[in-house]
Amino acid sequence: MKCAVLGDPIAHSLSPVLHRAGYAALDMDWTYRTKRVPAGGLAAFVTDRGPEWRGLSLTMPLKREAMPLADTVTDRARLAGAANTLVLDDGTIHADNTDIPGAAAAIRERYDGRILAATVLGGGATATSTALALCDLGATEIRFLVRSPDRAAETVAAVQRHPSAPTVIVGSLTDDFAEGDILVSTIPGEAQTPDLVSRCDDVEVTFEVLYHPWPTPLARAARGVLVSGLDLLVHQAAIQFSLFTGHEAPLAEMRVAGEAELGARNLL
């Protein structure tokens, strides 16, 4: 069976390394490759797939584009308004979002304490999925620090639709302080200025969704528990692996492969 990760850009993706490691660990004769698909190109790619295709992992800019192509959509993907996973099954397309449970699993692997309040830096698609994961973990207040509140409108709306109905606060990335039990950063490393880092040092848990460059300024300054972008990537990929193959993912082997690849790229 065939699977692939699609997006633009895509050459840097670690997903093939993780999924192929899973296939090797379970002695499965499956393939997984990268394919550059620019915005607007997903429908044509999916239409051209034959019955040997089983799963597609999606990254930017295709996650929202995937939604209208699916015959069925999970509640969590519908809530996020985006899908990072398409399962192809006998002509039927199933859409899911494994970023949400993947983020929750990544946090719980490193930290088992209570999470009631959180600060999320950024307001894009990754901020949406991680904030929804925090809601699933029990957060009742989520503070988004952003440069432009208008750009976070879709994210705020998605979080407010969560069944737990958390309190949502939108603040300034350039002025306000991080508050709560956990800080999640979804912003680029170059945006993590010394001033911003100094306003984010009073949290117990830091979740840096990037794995390159590593460590980011916020990851380097973390005083307590640190959850990494590799943690997130491995856990969401493991859930995808199970959706595609029907087998429990060999998480340990997938993580080792990811760490080895980052080491080979001199990114760890």
Residues annotated as catalytic are 63
**Cβ(149)–Cβ(177) below 8 Å:** no
Residue 8 per-residue DSSP state: S
The CA distance from 150 to 263, in Å, is: 39
The CA distance from 259 to 268, in Å, is: 8
Q: Where are the beta strands (DSSP E) in 37-176?
A: 53-58, 72-73, 85-89, 92-96, 117-121, 141-146, 167-172
E strand or H helix at 195: helix 194-198
Sign of CA dihedral 249, 262, 228, 65: negative
Going by their DSSP bridges, the two strands 53-58 and 85-89 should be labelled as antiparallel
The CA distance from 5 to 57, in Å, is: 4
Which residue, among 55, 115, 135, 100, has the nearest Cα to 209 in the 3D structure?
A: 100
Give the length of the chain. Answer: 268
Residue 51 per-residue DSSP state: T
E strand or H helix at 1: none
